[in-house]
């Protein structure tokens, strides 16, 4: 009747010791980024290529987004690929290399010194990603289960490696003139491979598995997910080609349309998963995660306007470009992390603290290990801070930028409060 294995090996999950350092590091990075944002609020609108802006962008992209995603993926990859994580040692190595590399790189940007120390930071980050990629690849080969989610994650990790290699080349180009043009001219390639290839592809790959799973939805459409995969990768490859080998600005509409279509298809996937859910009540954490899917459309709208203005006037709309960057890193990337942290971390901590007590008495539920009240206040500060800061950049209003930055610092403080509450949780019996 049932194909039984006689063992329970398929329930051994990744150790919490591997995952928690990434979560802790990311939480601190988010706090530092918002403090830097507050300190730079008055001059952030002058240009997007400023030392402080570069530092904030890289704390958000690497320290916050990438560290969080790498940490969570060590826990989630076994669920997604239906196989064990290959090596905890490689995961630790990946953490240590990036934990050292990121501050070196960020410090270099902050003081605008692209010398040896900053380059070492970049090299360490590349080594961390190679280690991560090897761990992913071997885990997938050993799992022998092919599925669409695994393709999303692995391809995203390859794009991440490409992003960091291009980033390092741009760093060398500052001091050694490796390329035909200045590093600033190649910035769109570096930025978009990272944003679309790494963040967007990975969030869609993981989200398309986790959102229906958490909603207990009947909806599943692999064909739709392959379309998203094709549109994102096709769009990105065409963007790189058009950017490097043609001078046509209007051709850029091709990758733009492809990525926009991918986001619409992903939105449709999430909406249908929401409609066909068995569990009617949707918790606050899922609401924030679903909001982040809607927020993916904002940068696309901005990019359409920026591209149209570029075609018509041949001039860059600097405030629109800064807003575009802000609504990506402080918008949907931050929103999905704020939501998903409290859907995943409580379970990891619960396993750490109560695993040995399972079935032996009453224990608290994972969702009771953090404060939902603090979570709600965090969301309120976040939405207000995000909207006000975006408006402040668009209309160059310093006081609004400062007020919004204070709200974002409060957001990160409340986030850290709940994360610390979880990490420090001691067993209680009910």
Partner 1 sequence: MMNVITNNNIKSTVALAALQNVTDPEIGLNIVDLGLIYQLDFDESQKKIYCTMTLTTQFCPMGESIANAVKENLKLSFPEYEVELDLTFDPPWRHEMISEEGREFLNER
Contact code string over 194-233 relative to partner 1, x by CB under 8 A: -------------------xx-x-x---------------
State yes or no: residue 142 binds partner 1 (CB under 8 A): no
Q: Contacting partner 1 (CB under 8 A), which of 21, 24, 82, 113? A: 82
Distance of CA 331 to the CA centre of its chain: 10
- Residue 342 DSSP code: H
Q: What is the rounded distance in angstroms from the CA atom of residue 185 to the CA atom of residue 166?
A: 13
Hey, how many other C-beta atoms are within 10 angstroms of the C-beta on 202?
Answer: 24
Residue 152 sits in the site that holds partner 1 (CB under 8 A): no
CB of 283 to partner 1, least distance (A): 9
Regarding 23 and contact with partner 1 (CB under 8 A), the answer is: no
Is the CB of 355 or the CB of 376 nearer to partner 1?
355
CA atoms within 13 A on the CB side of 322: 25
Residue 2 lies near partner 1 (rule: CB under 8 A):
yes
Residue 7 or 313: which CB sits closer to partner 1? 7
Could you say whether residue 25 binds partner 1 (CB under 8 A)?
no
Residues between 339 and 358 with contacts to partner 1, criterion CB under 8 A: 344, 347-348, 350-351, 354-355, 358
Nearest to partner 1 of 223, 359 (CB atom): 359
- Shorter beta-carbon distance to partner 1: residue 139 or 233: 139
Q: Which CB sits closer to partner 1, 2 or 245? A: 2
**In sequence order, what are the residues at sequence separation of 6 or more whose Cβ sits closer than 8 angstroms to the Cβ of residue 201?**
152, 155, 156, 159, 229, 232, 233
Closest CB 156 distance from partner 1, rounded Å:
20
Instruction: Assess 430 for contact with partner 1 (CB under 8 A).
Output: no
Among 63, 71, 83, 331, binds partner 1 (CB under 8 A): 83
1 binds partner 1 (CB under 8 A): yes
Q: Which residue has the tokens 């918008």?
A: 331
270 contacts: CB under 8 Å, gap ≥ 6 = 207, 211, 290, 293
Distance between CA atoms of 86 and 76, rounded to whole angstroms? 13
Q: Binders of partner 1: how many residues, by CB under 8 A?
A: 39
Task: Give the shortest CB-348-to-partner 1 separation in angstroms.
Answer: 7
Angstrom CA distances, 302 to 225, 285, 320, 322, stand at: 25, 27, 7, 10
Question: CA-CA distance, 278 to 307, in Å (whole number)?
Answer: 42
Q: What is the DSSP string of 4-69?
A: --S--GGG----HHHHHHHHHHHHHHHHHHHHHHHHTTTTTTS-SS-HHHHHHHHIIIIIIIIHHH
Question: Binding residue for partner 1 (CB under 8 A) from 144, 181, 223, 281?
Answer: 281
Q: Interface residues for partner 1 in 249-278 (CB under 8 A)?
A: 278
Any contact of residue 246 with partner 1 (CB under 8 A)?
no
Q: Kindly report the CA angle at 391 between 388 and 392, in degrees rounded to 5?
A: 85
- Which residues form the interface with partner 1 (CB under 8 A)? 1-8, 10-13, 75, 78-79, 82-84, 213-214, 216, 218, 278-281, 344, 347-348, 350-351, 354-355, 358-360, 365-367
């Amino acid at each position: 009747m049932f194909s039984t294995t006689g063992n329970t090996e398929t329930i051994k999950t990744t150790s919490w010791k591997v995952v928690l350092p990434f979560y802790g590091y990311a939480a601190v990075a988010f706090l530092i980024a918002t403090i830097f944002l507050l300190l730079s609020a008055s001059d952030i609108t002058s240009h997007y290529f400023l030392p402080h802006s570069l530092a904030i962008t890289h704390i958000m992209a690497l320290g916050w987004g990438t560290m969080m995603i790498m940490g969570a993926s060590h826990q989630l990859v076994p669920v997604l690929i239906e196989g064990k994580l290959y090596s905890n040692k490689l995961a630790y190595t990946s953490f240590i290399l990036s934990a050292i590399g990121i501050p070196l790189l960020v410090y270099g940007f902050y003081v605008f010194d692209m010398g040896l120390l900053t380059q070492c930071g970049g090299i360490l980050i590349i080594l961390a990603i190679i280690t991560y990629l090897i761990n992913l690849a071997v885990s997938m080969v050993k799992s022998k289960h092919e599925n669409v989610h695994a393709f999303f994650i692995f391809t995203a990790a390859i794009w991440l490696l490409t992003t960091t290699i291009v980033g390092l080349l741009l760093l060398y180009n500052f001091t050694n003139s490796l390329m035909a043009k200045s590093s600033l001219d190649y910035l769109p390639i570096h930025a978009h491979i990272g944003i679309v290839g790494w963040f967007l592809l990975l969030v869609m790959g993981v989200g398309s598995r986790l959102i229906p799973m958490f909603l207990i939805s009947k909806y599943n459409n692999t064909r739709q997910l392959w379309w998203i995969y094709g549109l994102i990768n096709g769009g990105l490859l065409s963007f790189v080609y058009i950017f490097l080998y043609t001078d046509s600005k209007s051709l850029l509409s091709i990758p733009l349309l492809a990525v926009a279509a991918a986001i619409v298809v992903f939105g449709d996937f999430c909406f249908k998963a929401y409609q066909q859910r068995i569990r009617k009540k949707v918790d606050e954490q899922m609401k924030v995660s679903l909001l982040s899917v809607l927020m993916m459309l904002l940068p696309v709208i901005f990019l359409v306007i920026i591209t149209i203005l570029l075609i018509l006037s041949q001039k860059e709309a600097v405030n629109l470009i800064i807003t575009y960057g802000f609504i990506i890193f402080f918008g949907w990337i931050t929103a999905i992390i704020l939501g998903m942290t409290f859907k995943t971390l409580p379970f990891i901590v619960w396993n750490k603290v109560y695993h040995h007590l399972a079935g032996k008495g009453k224990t608290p539920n994972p969702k009771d290990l953090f404060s939902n009240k603090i979570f709600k206040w965090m969301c309120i500060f976040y939405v207000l801070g995000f909207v006000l800061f975006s408006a402040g950049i668009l209309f160059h209003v310093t006081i609004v930028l400062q007020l919004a930055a204070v709200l974002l610092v409060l957001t990160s403080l409340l986030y850290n409060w709940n994360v610390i509450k979880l990490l420090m949780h001691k067993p209680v019996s009910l």
